[in-house]
């Protein structure tokens, strides 16, 4: 039981607010289907995020992307998140659009007590107004680590909890996120974006010390 509690605490610390490749559907052009985006900000820690995406013209526009998130620290490879996801414009009325996002993720987190490897999934929905010059939307998301491998250090086994065991664990909850995002088109193609909001642990679990996120991004299609 103690091991499971430790796992859940670590998962909460390692969670992030979600798949953050922002798309303005009104400026999306199929002759420039590729996009690079750089985000910096606070998402449970000070982080840098880099993503690549490609748009596909199906029955509805679909954007598929790969996302990497790294902390701003001296040992950046100790903690990282990789995401592979997609988003689609599911409905459109005049300037308003509804968007659905889904992604799978792989996380690595390490400190003096434990190394954690986890596989998870995340989903979010957005509703907002999109124009060729700007856009703004509200966002609701959910992120869950489905399976997590814990490898405890000798320090943890000797001084923390002698009965702790390495192995795979299945968490009992996830993290909701609520926020807004906005973007401003610069020139013909580039875009500056802003995301901010808060997170909330599922099942009344303990929230993060600072349950908020803030991201400033710059995107360029090509």
Q: Give the contacts of 165 (CB within 8 A, at least 6 positions apart).
A: 3, 152
Question: At 200, which CATH number?
Answer: 2.40.160.20
- Tokens 């993290």 correspond to 175
Q: Give the contacts of 15 (CB within 8 A, at least 6 positions apart).
A: 44, 143, 145, 174, 175, 199, 208
Distance between CA 203 and CA 11 in Å, rounded?
14
The pLDDT value recorded for residue 13 is 46
Residue 85 bridge partners (DSSP): 65, 103
Residue 207, both tokens? 């929230």
pLDDT: which is higher, 165 or 122:
122
Classify burial at 20, counting beta carbons within 10 Å of its beta carbon; exposed 0-12, middle 13-18, buried 19 or more: buried
- Tokens 């987190």 correspond to 109
- Farthest-apart Cα atoms in the chain, separation: 63
Mean pLDDT of 26-33: 94
Pick the range with the lowest mean pLDDT from 21-35, 37-51, 145-159, 208-222: 145-159
Mean pLDDT of 129-134: 97
pLDDT tens profile 166-193: 989 887 678 999 999 999 999 888 999 9
Pick the range with the lowest mean pLDDT from 30-44, 104-118, 200-214: 200-214
33 within 8 A of 56, measured Cβ to Cβ: yes
Q: What is the pTM of this model?
A: 0.84
Confidence of residue 124 (pLDDT cuts 50, 70, 90): very high
The percent of residues in the chain predicted with pLDDT above 90, rounded, is 61
End-to-end C-alpha distance for the chain, whole angstroms: 51
Total domain count, the chain: 1
Nearest-CA neighbor of 193 among 124, 130, 116, 100?
A: 130
Please give the residue range of the domain that contains residue 71.
2-221
45 within 8 A of 69, measured Cβ to Cβ: no
């Amino acid at each position: 039981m103690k091991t499971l509690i430790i796992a859940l605490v670590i998962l909460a610390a390692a969670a992030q607010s979600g798949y953050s490749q922002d798309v303005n559907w009104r400026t999306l052009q199929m002759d420039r289907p590729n996009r690079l985006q750089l985000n910096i900000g606070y998402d449970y820690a000070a982080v840098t995020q880099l993503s690549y995406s490609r748009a596909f013209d199906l029955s509805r526009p679909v954007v598929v992307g790969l996302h990497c998130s790294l902390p701003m620290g001296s040992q950046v490879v100790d903690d990282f998140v990789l995401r592979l996801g997609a988003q689609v414009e599911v409905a459109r009325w005049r300037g308003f659009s509804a968007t659905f996002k889904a992604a799978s993720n792989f996380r690595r987190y390490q400190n003096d007590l434990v190394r954690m490897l986890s596989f998870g999934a995340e989903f979010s929905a957005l509703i907002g107004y999109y124009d060729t010059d700007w856009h703004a939307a509200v966002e609701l998301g959910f992120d869950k680590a489905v399976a997590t491998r814990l490898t405890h250090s000798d320090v943890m086994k000797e001084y923390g909890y002698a009965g702790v065991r390495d192995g795979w664990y299945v968490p009992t909850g996830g993290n909701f996120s609520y926020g807004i995002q906005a973007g401003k088109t610069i020139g013909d193609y580039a875009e500056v974006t802003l995301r901010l909001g808060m997170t909330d642990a599922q099942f009344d679990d303990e929230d993060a010390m600072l349950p908020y996120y803030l991201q400033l991004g710059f995107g360029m299609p090509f």
